[in-house]
């Protein structure tokens, strides 16, 4: 079955938006990542972080979201190929993709701590 290419930017944007909605609806962890991201943004406004700090935070948060989307994509393709049957290589690929999400989440948490902990310390000490 041959599919056609998207005709224009808006059609491509529509498909990409559908992909984001799908991962938000189907992947519980994506909801967690977005919720934590919103809390971080709120804390950033409350603590009046600098432009450079915003750049680091936004990069870290987007890397977590992107790796979660890629992880979910891998999981769906593997499930399609294996027909939801256990296969050792499929397990390895899913575990590695989940590991990528974990690495990006840890990196984001470290960045958040480096930015927010000194500011919170100054507020309460």
Which residues form the catalytic set? 68
- Residues 84 and 12: their CA atoms lie apart, in Å, by 29
Tokens, residue 86: 């256990």
Query: How far is residue 29's CA from residue 76's CA, in Å, rounded to a whole number?
Result: 15
Residue whose tokens read 């190929």: 81
Nearest-angstrom CA–CA distance, 38 and 16: 21
């Amino acid at each position: 079955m041959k599919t056609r290419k998207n005709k224009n930017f808006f059609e491509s944007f529509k498909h990409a938006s559908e992909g984001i909605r799908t991962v938000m609806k189907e992947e519980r962890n994506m909801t967690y990542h977005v919720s934590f991201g919103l809390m971080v943004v709120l804390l950033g406004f409350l603590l009046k972080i600098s432009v450079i700090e915003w750049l680091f935070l936004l990069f870290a948060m987007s890397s977590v979201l992107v790796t979660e989307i890629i992880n979910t994509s891998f999981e769906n393709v593997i499930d399609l190929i294996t027909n939801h049957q256990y296969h050792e290589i499929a397990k390895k690929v899913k575990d590695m993709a989940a590991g990528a999400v974990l690495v990006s989440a840890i990196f984001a948490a470290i960045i958040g701590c480096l930015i927010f902990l000194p500011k919170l310390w100054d507020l309460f000490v």
